[in-house]
Each structure stands twice: as structure tokens, then as C-alpha cells.
Amino acid sequence: MQELKNRIKQLMEENVAQRALGWKKGEFGYDAQAAFFESTDELDDFVYNGFCGANLSKYMIEACKKEGRTIICLKPCDTYSFNQLLKEHRIQREKAYIIGVGCKGTLDISKIKANGIEGIVDIEGADMFSSENLLKIKTVYGDHELAYSDALLERCNCCKGKEHMIFDEIIGESADTVSADRFEQIEKIEQLTSIEKFEFFRNELSKCIRCNACRNACPACNCRKCVFDSDKFDSAQKANSDSFEEKMFHIIRAFHVAGRCTDCGECSRVCPQNIPLHLFNRKFIKDINMLYGDFSAGSNCEENCPLTSYSFDDAEPGKI
Amino acid sequence: MSNREEKVLQISGVNPRKCMKCGKCSASCPSYDEMDIKPHQFVSYVLNGRTKALAESKSVEKCLACFACVERCPRNVEPAKIIDAARQLNVRQRYGDTLSANDIPSLIDEDTPQQLLVSAFRKYKR
Amino acid sequence: MQRIGVFVCHCGSNIAATVDVKRVALAMLSENGVVFADDYQYMCSESGQLKIAQAVKEHNLTGLVICSCSPRMHEATFRKAAEKAGINPYMVEIANIREQCSWIHKDIEQATQKAIILARAAVAKVNLNSPLIAGKSPVKKRALVIGGGIAGIQTALDIADAGFEVDIVEKTPSIGGKMSQLDKTFPTLDCSACILTPKMVDCAAHEKITIFTYSEVENVSGFVGNFTVDIKKKARYVDSAKCTGCGLCQEKCPSKKALSEFNCGLSNRSAIYTPFAQAVPNVPVIDPLQCIKLKTGKCGLCEKVCAANAIDYTQKDEIITREYGAIVVATGFDVINLDNYDEYAYSQSKDVITSLELERIMNAAGPTKGHLERMSDGKAPKNIVFVQCVGSRCADNKGKSYCSKICCMYTAKHAMLIRDKYPDVNVSVFYIDVRTPGKNFDEFYRRAVEEYGVNYIKGQVGKVTPEPDGSLTVHGVDLIDGRQVKISADMVVLAAAIEPNASVRQLATQLTASIDTNNFLTEAHPKLRPVESPTAGVFLSGVCQGPKDIPETVSQAGAAAAKVIGLLAKNELTTNPCTAHSDELLCNGCSACANVCPYGAISYQDKEVNDHGIRETRRIAMVNTALCQGCGACTVTCPSGAMDLNGFSNKQIIAEVDAICR
Amino acid sequence: MPMNSTESFAPKIVAFCCNWCSYAGADLAGSSRLAYPADVKIIKVPCSCRVNPMFILRAFEKGADGVIICGCHPGDCHYSTGNYYARRRMTLLFSMLEYIGIEKDRVRVEWVSAAEAVKFSETMNSFVLQIKNLGENVRLGDLRCKS
């Protein structure tokens, strides 16, 4: 991490960029958050460890409105979102200096807590650039140990790959974290009966409090104004209203990002109610791959989105 | 369509309705004069439910499997595959499956060259 | 707040017999915005329309709902009536209670209920309608014809005769196209040059026509009525204004090894050349790849012999920018490459030729001066075999899936001409089907068989083998006779498939005109709009749209011209106001909408916006309303709802949904 | 849904028809007097590609029991490509609805040309029957809170 920090400092001192976009340590050490570093002094708070799950790509939209260039730290999977934003003209390449940072998987604090670990004071071993696979967790009740690989976010278990799709330089190495099939869960749900599916999703979506965290974190949800906030469809609504709206919101949100979603998993990561929102997006990804050929949004800036293209012999609706 | 016709279509993988009756297969066939049913007629024999006659014809044994008809057919109909399927129909009816595919690996000598195996299958599969 | 009047039509008894029209009118009075409701025998009649006008006046109506027959029937009528009464015509909605209700239901109660719901939905929509004004855009009164073959020539002449300026862009040194290469034409057997060259000369002489030969379209921008086109005039190295067309330069040119394109490579031409004697313009070009002066700097013979001082080795390519109201594509065809058809030995023997090559051989101005000779040894052939459908009607990847349409007829023509001129030559034709739809076509083919004794054999050729003695063995089949046939021939003529000219792909992109899987340009409607491209202002003439013969090409060329004249005759175009528009405060500039727009109507601009006090420059989608046809594909692609469609807005449709489901 | 109630159950069905083919097909069904149930209410759209998934969900939210979208046959679109986009969008949307446990028979896409009056009427008849067999749409109604 020090190497990364030094490099950022150097780049800022050499005036290659005017600021950096990275992660700042939070209150508890496991709640690092996205932050702009406007001067080298501010870099003291810079961190990069397993808790830096936040995908910074979307912040680049803000950065592009600022003067000069911004250093942005992107994990391999974040680069897909960055590309997608580039493709949609939401950000400008020349406004960014991309440091591709190595990643050995990002951590899920709720998985740690699920092991009965409470009152966490400090967690050691979360460093991204160490090869150590052990988390040492200090709590007010004593010390615990947990394998790093056992505390990964679901998205890291079905990681898209170690390659950065776009970068100016790369610091650190990335590790293979794949241990599950990306579509296994989707297939499992598909096997359920109609009623079981409905019960499953009703149960999950009933938890939704319409806090919009998913929308705010999602790099594909980058509309200046969401349709659910505008009067364009007569669909503006306050949080947590009645009825069907949560289903409508999540289906439409998934539909709006279909073919653009890079499966970065931020929606599920930030959901305070732990709704597995990625199950919607991934279903679309699975369908698109099956029906229209493998497509990975953000792997490049050229390929046309499957929903804005077609072929003469596409599948008929409802017949798959 | 009867069972036999379906079987031939299934074995051959041919869609006889693609044929436009141009006769290029018959024009290309080196065994044409030896055959009682000509290559361009194969599809209509299958379509008209006369596969039995096709299977009993001389053509079954006269086709050299040179695939000139397959190569030149402008509609990708592949007549050679039809006649081969008719031939297989005969074989299967006469002998049944004499050898289970699963038994084959145990019968093969380690040192047998692959090429020999392939040509043996070609020659003796009927 | 709208003040809506609802008018329920009885349509005699067509509606009133099954729908309680009075109840429908009454029910509408309690709908939001409705201030007046009435029913009448025939709303579309003079007196019905008068009733509407009166009600508009008396009740100060701002919107109308007519419950009547289908809008496809009388929407235009009621819009006009509204306009007369002083209401914007787009403030009218029709509730279709005849085709969708009274005519298909028997139960009065049920039908009345449904009519009420349909009317309710229309009222809900009108509440959200806003007045729309059809836009106007000026029309540049000049047409561009791309391609100078018979299709382009005919289109240009017809447009020019109507009094409009036309430019022809032709990429070869002369207009004339494929027809100029033909010897005789079916089914009348008149000489192609005799009927074509007068038209070429007419073109050149017409004061309204400007011909750009040796030129290509470089760039197209704009839209119907207002295209701007960059034309690249390739360097000719000959000053067209000075050249007298004496031809001395061609005679003296020492470089004579180039293959003549006009003669299908069967003869040679000089480096400075006109493709053929009757070329229009009769101004040669210098082929820079062959010219000794341009390659080495030495020679300069043509310059020396040119009395008119027309040779200019320093000429450069030139870009001309011109404006047009309409563009006609007439890029024509080429014969397919026969590399995939090895079995016919086209590349192995000089005596296996295509039909177009035979045209040149038979032509008095061709490589053999019109004598039927073998290209290998100059001997007169005694046995000629024609093979039909070479590369046409192929479902494999080697050829084309379509029928090339002209081959059956020109082969009959060739066979007939040969038998007529050389009665001792045996002519056989292998065919799959003989297709002769067309006036006097079948009679023509029958004459070839009955009067001229051409031997038609139903069957295909499997293989052509060149023999050591120079003959060709044709292995074919006679399906009727049920035997294989082997013919020893001296010459084999292949009726090779035709395909759209290769340039059309790029051109289609430049014009945002769509092409099909075979690279033929797509019509706006296959039956009802066959000479228009779906892109407004772009028209199709000739084989670029699909295989066709000369009479058909000429009639299509005339049809395309008529469409162009109809367009250019207008001073202004009224644009459909039901077009898309983007809300600049919501647009993300993501380009998704432009990707799905079939008309290239959406472009992007960096525009300064004021978003509730925040001033910033944003990339914003702009819809060119002259191009937009109002399909709405963009509106659904737009995630933020910035893109919306006039007349079918998101809110309007949702209001209809709500009204129906209420 | 017990069978005997299908008789009395009058479903709410919204049909989106494109202006150029299907709406004209419906007109022809009308002038040919080819009956279909009054439960079907048609909304005219310029093209099937104008149908936003939000319209469909909105209809369900407001109590529709079935939604059907009709457009020109692929290849015949008046706007040349609109129905191709609609086809992809609806394929994905329908798959999603089924995935979250909405009966997939509540939605349908059918290509009906201006000449296919018989097909239009038959389609509507069969769709209404299909919805009647499914019964009232309860899963997309007011069900936010777990029962």
C-alpha cells in the first residue's frame, strides 16, 4: 500500500494530476470509503485494503467536472465500469490517470460477523498486497482468526478476472479468487416453481426501504435524474410507499442497466437490508449471453450493447 | 412420415425439403450409370415414403461415398448422406448393433495407429 | 386544464345498434376535463363537423375526443375539422368504438361498457395532449444520382425533363454502365448501343444535367431536402474543357498492356484511354498505374501529340461540395467472382467464359470484332454449352441465395443469336428451371427452342474438364431423360450470378440507408414503396435494389424520378410533428438512442444548460425532426426518460393504461 | 382459481398494437366481424418498439391481468428495425418476470400483419382464455408486506 501511496504522491507532486480518487480509512478500519484527495497532505488517510470494495469509477463523473486530471485507483473489475462510462460519454479518458491496483479479493464484513465475531476493534491482515491469507481480528472480547479467502464478498468468489481492461499503470498483483460459478445461484432459482420464485423474491424485496443506496452506488445508474425521481413517467415516488413499487423499481432498474451492467456487485454490497440485488442483473447477463452471444459490458469501448442491436433470427419473447 | 423415413433423416441429418431439383448431384456422380435410383432421386424417395425401395436398391452399394454431390450441391442437401443412412438402415436391420460402442476401447491395442482406426471404421462400419 | 368535448358517433346503426351511445356520452361528462359530450348520427358528415365547430365555440373547447370508427379511417377528417374550428389538429383523439367494439361484440351492455372505457382512455390521453405544429424545412431543388448506368441515366433524364437540376456521379470514366457493354437486348434483339447511346448523349446535352464521371461520393450529411454531398473528382490528367476527343493520344500511347475493363479483360487498352468509342464524355483519362510519364517521368508522348494542349500531368483529386434535395442510388451490379466454382474450370480455361464476356465477344466493337471465336486459339467453336444458375439460388456459402432473374432470358438470347448467325454451331443449355415472366418473354424462349433448335437440357452441370486437345468435356445430367450426359464442347458459357456493386456497402452507411444480407438496398416498403429507401429523401433505381432486367430498370428509374420530382416540386417539407425530442436537463448523452435510430436522426451537441442554477456544458442528444419518423425506439432505450415522443408521450400512454385498468 | 369462476371472471387485458400492422389487423378483424372478448382494450402505439417495460409493469400495478404486445412481423417493420429491438427487450423482460415468479402466460408478444385479421382475433381469443385460466393477477398487486 505504501508503494501505491508514494506513487500517487509523486504523480501529484509532478503535476501529472491535480488530485487523487481513492479510499479513506473509516471509523472502524473495516469501513473504508471512497474519497477525493485534493492535496498530498490529505493522503495520510489514504488506504487500500480488502475493505476498499467501493468501485470508484462512478466518482469519475464528478472528477471530470473538476479542473485538471484525477488519479483514479481501479481494481480489475472496476475497470469494466470505467470503460462502460467512457463508452456512454459520461467521463473523459484524458481527465483520468488510471492506476490499476492489484486485488486479491474484497472483504465482506457481514461474513466476518456471521462467524459470531462481535465488538470488532481492529482487523489485521487485510492488506491487498500481502500474500498472507489470514485475518487477525481483535475484538473487545478477545482475538479471532479467519482465512482471508473465507471472508470474501460473493462477487469476488465469481470474479471476472485479474486483468485490468484499461489503465495507465498497474501497481500490485491480483490473485485468482474464483471459487464459484457466477450463474449457479441464478440457475437454482430458475429451477424453483413459480410460486417458490415469487415467495423468494417477495420476501427479499419486502425488505427494501427504498433508500436508493443501490442506485447511488451503481456505476451504470448514472442518470442525471432517475426516472423514479422525475415526472416523465408519472412514476416519481417517495420512499417506502405501498404496493408493487419496489418490484417495479428493481425490475426497471435491472432492465435499465441490462447490457450495461458489468456485474460489479456494488448494488448488493451496499444494500443495508442485504437484498441480493445482483440476482436481477445477473439474470439479464445470463439471458443475454445465452440468447445473443457472450457479452461482457465494459470489456471494451466499441462493442454495441445487446439491447441496442439485434439479429434477424433472435429468440421470440416468452419462448425461451 | 413413417418410422423408417424418420430414421433415415435422423441418421443422415439431411433436410430433403431444401432440394431444388437441379440435378447437380447426378451430374457429378461417378457411379451414376451403376445406380438404379439416381442421386437426385434420393430426396424424393424419402419424402414420398419409399425409403424401403431406396434401401433395397443397388445404389446403396454403388455409392462410392466420394462426396462429390455433397461438395457441389448448391442447397447443402447432401444426397450421399441419405444413401449412407439407407445403407445403415439395412445393416442395423440385418445384424442389429453387433458391437457396443462402449466395448470398443477395451478391444483396441495401445499401439494401434489412430489413422488405422479411422480408416477401419470407414471401411467396416457397415 | 383542458376543456374537452366528447362526440359519440352512431355511424348510422353501425355503432348505435350495439353501443348505447347516449350512455357513453353521459358517462364521459364525469371524466376529468370533459365539459361537453354529445352524440350524433354521422360525425364525419358535413353537419357532424359543423356540430363540432359549434361546440368548440360555445364551450371554448381545447381538446376533442371523437368516439367513432378507426382513426385510420377518419382521423385526418376530424383533425381538419378541428383546425377549421380553431383547435390544433393534434388536440384530437379518436376512440375506436366501431372496429374495436360495436362490430365485434353482440351484447349491448358489454359493448357499451367497453366503449366507455375506450372513450375514457382517449379522454385521459387528450388531457395530456399539447398542440403540435408540423415543422417546415426548405427543399434544395437539385437531385443527385449516384451511378451512371441505364438506371441513373433514365432517372436523371426524367428529373431533368421536369425542370430540375440533376447531377450524375459515375465512378468510371464514362456513363453508360453495364448496358453499354451489352451487344443485343432481349426480347426484341435490338442493339444495346443503338438504344443507349442516344440517351447518353441526351444526358450530356441536357442543360439541367451535370455529369461527374471518374468521381465518387466522399461524404454525405444533412437530411431530406437538405443533403450536402462531397464528391471526389479523381485526377483525370486531361483537361475536359480543352480536350476535343480526337483520340490521337490513345493511338500514340506506347503503354498498351492494361486490360480493358470495358471488354472484361479480354483485350488491352492504352494507359490514356476512353473505355469505349461512344464514351460520354468523350474525354480520356490517364491510368496512373500504367502511364510511363506518371510512373517514371519519361515519355510525355500524349502531351506532345495533343493539339488542344489538354494533357495535364499535375492534376490532383478534387473535392466538390454540392447541395441536394434528393439522392437517387443507382449503383448497379457486378458479376460475382467465380473462384468458388472450381468445378466449372473458369480459371483453368480461357474458353470457359461468363455471359458478360460473351456479350463482348459477340459485339462488333469487342475483342474479336464480333466474330464468335475461342479466346484460347481464335478458332470458331462448333459446340457451345451454356450453364445456368452459376452461383444463383445457392443455399451454401459459395454463391447467392437469390435468383439473378436476368440469366434465363439473356441465355436464350445468346443461344438464339449464335444459332442465327452460325447455324452449324450446336448449342446446349443446362437449366434447372427456365423462368420467363415478362411480356413476350416466354414466347422468346420458346422461339429459341422451336425455331432455332437450341438444345435445352433439364439438369445441372457437375463438372467441366479441360482436355489436352483444347476441348472441354462437360459432365452433366439430363433429368428428363434419366441419364448422365457428357458433351465435348469448344466453349462453355456460365450464367454467373449478379451481385450489388461493391461500393454500395459504404454508400449505404454514408446515406444511413439500410441494406439486406445480400447487400441490396432495402425499400421503404417491399410492395407499396419499392423505389424509396426507408431513409427519407433517398431513392432507389435499378439493380442496387434487387436483380432486374432493362425494361424493369427503366420503369423503376422513372418511378424513382417521379418520387424525386414530387419531392423537389415542394418548396417546403411539412414534417410529421410526432417526433422524438430530448429533455436537455435529463439527457445523459450516452448515445444509446442514436444506436437504435434507424434514420440517423439523432446527433449530439455540447450544449450549455442551466440545471436549476448549475450552469454546465453537457453532451446532449438532439433530434433532427426532419429525419425522425416517430417510431419511438429511442424513447425506450433512454433509461432516464429524457427522450420522449410527441403524440405518444410516456405520460400519455401511461394515462391510457391507467384509464383502461381503472 | 377454481374452474367455475372462470366464467364470471372478466379479466382486464391491455393490448399494445403498432399503428402500421397490428392496429390495422385489428381494424380488419373488426370489419370482418371476427369477434374476440370485450376484455381486450387496445392502445395504439407507433411501433412495438415504443412499448416501454414500464408501461407493462404499470398496467399490472394498476390491476391488469394480462398484457399483450402486437407488432409487425420481424422484417416487415414500418420503421424497418423497431420490432427487432422490441423483440429483444420483451424477451428479456418476460424472462425476468418469469424469474421472479410472475406467471409467464400473463404476457405475450404476437406478430400480426395488417392482413391477418383472423390471426388477430384468434390471438385475442386464446390470450383471454389463457388469462382466464390463470385467474386474477394477485402476484403483482398490492403485496409489499409479507402476508
The strand pairing partners of B74, in sequence order, are none
**With an 8 Å Cβ cutoff, are C394 and B74 in contact?**
yes
**Residue C587 three-state SS:** coil
CATH dotted code for C333-499? 3.50.50.60
The answer to whether B and A touch (≥3 CB pairs < 8 Å) is no
Segment C82-95 shows an average pLDDT of 95
Q: Per-residue DSSP letters for A248-303?
A: HHHHHHHHHHTTT-----HHHHH-TT---THHHHHHHHHHHHHHH----TTS-SSS
Q: Do D54 and C596 touch (CB under 8 A)?
A: no
Reduced to 3 states (helix: H, G, I; strand: E, B; else coil), residue C389 is strand
Model confidence band, residue D1 (pLDDT cutoffs 50, 70, 90): very low
- Please check whether residue C83 touches A, CB under 8 A: no
- Rounded to a whole number of angstroms, the distance from the CA of B33 to the nearest CA of chain C is 8
Q: Tell me the chain A residues in contact with residue C517 when contact means C-beta distances shorter than 8 Å.
A: 312
Domain boundaries, chain D: 12-116+126-134
Q: Given an 8 Å threshold on Cβ–Cβ distance, is B74 in contact with C482?
A: no
Closest approach of C500 to chain B, Cα-based (Å)? 20
Predicted local distance difference test score (pLDDT) of residue A245: 60
Q: What is the mean pLDDT of residues B25-30?
A: 94
Q: How confident is the model at residue B126 (pLDDT cuts 50, 70, 90)?
A: very low
Contact across the interface for C640 and A233, Cβ inside 8 Å: no
- Give the CATH number, domain containing residue B87: 1.10.1060.10
Can you tell me the distance from the alpha carbon of A268 to that of A154, in angstroms, rounded to the nearest whole number?
9
Interface list for D 58-117 with A (CB within 8 A):
58, 60-61, 74-75, 81, 84-85, 87-104, 107-109
Q: Report the gap between the CA of A182 and the closest CA in chain C (Å).
A: 26
- Which chains does chain A touch, 3 or more C-beta pairs < 8 A? C, D
Indicate yes or no: CB of A314 within 8 angstroms of CB of D88: yes
Among B15-19, B109-113, C104-108, name the one with the lowest average pLDDT: B109-113
pLDDT score, position B42: 95
Q: Measured between CB atoms, does D50 come within 8 Å of chain A?
A: no
How many CB atoms neighbour CB B56 within 10 A?
13
Q: Which residue has the cell 408540423?
A: C134
DSSP state of C260: P
Q: What is the CATH number of domain D12-116+126-134?
A: 3.40.50
Which chain D residues are Cβ-neighbours of C661 within 8 angstroms? 12, 14, 59, 62-64
C611 to A224: CB separation less than 8 angstroms, yes or no:
yes
State the smallest CA–CA distance between residue A223 and chain D in angstroms.
Answer: 17
Q: Which of residues 415-444 of C touch D (CB under 8 A)?
A: none
Decide if C640 and A234 are in contact by the 8 Å CB cutoff.
Answer: no
Segment among A16-25, A116-125, C385-394, D113-122 with least mean pLDDT: A116-125
pLDDT reading at B51 higher than 70: yes
In degrees and rounded to multiples of 5, residue B92 shows phi and psi of -65, -35
Q: Which domain holds residue B7?
A: 3-99
Chain D touched by C106 (CB under 8 Å): yes
Residue of C nearest to D30 (CA): C99
Q: What is the pLDDT of residues C272-291, one digit of tens each?
A: 999 999 999 999 999 999 99
Cross-chain residue pair C589–A312, CB shorter than 8 Å: no
Q: Of the candidates A231, A234, A308, which has its C-beta nearest C595's C-beta?
A: A308
User: Residue C61 pLDDT > 50, yes or no?
Assistant: yes
β-partners of residue C232 are C216, C319
Q: Tell me what pLDDT residue A179 has.
A: 87
Residues in a beta bridge with B20: none
**Statement: residue D31 has pLDDT above 80:** yes
Assign residue C438 a region (left: φ > 0; alpha: ψ between -120 and 50; beta: otherwise). Answer: left
CB A120 within 8 A of CB A28: yes
Q: What is the pLDDT of residues D83-136, one digit of tens each?
A: 999 999 999 999 999 999 888 899 999 999 888 899 999 999 999 999 999 998
Helix, strand or coil for residue C66?
strand
Q: Which of chain A's residues have a Cβ under 8 Å away from the Cβ of C653?
A: none
CB contact under 8 A, C389 and B74: yes
Return the pLDDT at B122: 60
Q: Confidence class of residue A240 from pLDDT cuts 50, 70 and 90?
A: very low
A–D contact: 3+ Cβ pairs < 8 A: yes
- DSSP symbol at C638: -
ipTM surpassing 0.85, yes or no? no
CATH number listed for the domain at residues C138-177+192-232+320-332+503-571: 3.50.50.60
Chain A residues in contact with D92 by the CB 8 A cut-off are 255, 258, 284, 287-288, 307
Position with higher pLDDT, B113 vs C590: C590
Per-residue model confidence as pLDDT tens digits over C141-154: 999 999 999 999 99
Are D14 and C99 in contact (CB < 8 Å)?
no
Q: Are strands C472-478 and C461-466 parallel, antiparallel or unpaired?
A: antiparallel
**Chain D touched by C72 (CB under 8 Å):** yes
Residue B81 resides in a domain = yes
**Domain map (residue ranges) of chain C:** 4-126, 138-177+192-232+320-332+503-571, 235-316, 333-499, 580-646
Is CATH 3.40.50 the classification given to domain C4-126? yes
- Interface residue D142 vs chain A (CB under 8 A): yes
Is the minimum CB–CB distance between C653 and chain A shorter than 8 Å? no
Using pLDDT thresholds of 50, 70 and 90, give the confidence band for residue D69: very high
Q: Do C654 and D36 touch (CB under 8 A)?
A: no
Q: Is the peptide bond before B16 cis (omega within 30 degrees of 0)?
A: no
Give dist(CA C115, CA A172) in Å, integer: 70
Per-window interface: C 499-528 vs D, CB < 8 A: 514, 522, 525
Of B18, B21, B72, the CB nearest to C462: B72
DSSP D59-108: HHHTT-SEEEEEEPPTT--TTSSHHHHHHHHHHHHHHHHHHTT--GGGEE
Average predicted confidence (pLDDT) for chain C: 94
CB atoms A225 and C586 under 8 Å? yes
Q: Which parts of C438-512 are beta strand (E)?
A: 455-458, 461-466, 472-478, 483-489, 491-496, 498-500
Angle between helices A278-292 and A245-257 (to 10 degrees): 40
Minimum distance, in Å, between the CA of residue C237 and any CA atom of chain D:
44
Residue C580 contacts A where some CB pair is shorter than 8 Å: no
CB contact under 8 A, C619 and A89: yes
C653 touches chain D (CB under 8 A): yes
Per the CB < 8 Å rule, is D100 touching A198? yes
| The domain made up of C580-646 is a member of CATH 1.10.3720.10 | no
Distances in whole angstroms, Cα of residue D96 to Cα of each of A16, A258, C326, D91, D103: 46, 11, 46, 9, 11
Inter-chain touch B38–C463, beta carbons under 8 Å: no
What pLDDT score does D81 carry?
Answer: 87
Q: Using 50, 70 and 90 to split pLDDT, how confident is the model at C169?
A: very high
Interface of C with A in 608-637 (CB under 8 A): 611, 616, 619, 637
> Which chain D residues are Cβ-neighbours of C99 within 8 angstroms?
26-27, 29-31
C240, C151 Cβ separation under 8 angstroms: no
> Higher model confidence: residue C50 or residue D139?
C50
- Mutation site for A-interface testing, chosen from D107, D144, D147 by largest number of A Cβ within 10 Å: D144
Domain boundaries, given as residue ranges, for chain A? 2-171, 184-308
Q: What is the largest CA-CA distance in chain C?
A: 100
Flag if A314 and D101 touch (Cβ within 8 Å). Answer: no
HSE toward the beta carbon, residue A186, CA cutoff 13 A: 19
Chains touching chain B through at least 3 C-beta pairs below 8 angstroms are C
Q: Evaluate if residue A19 carries a pLDDT over 80.
A: yes
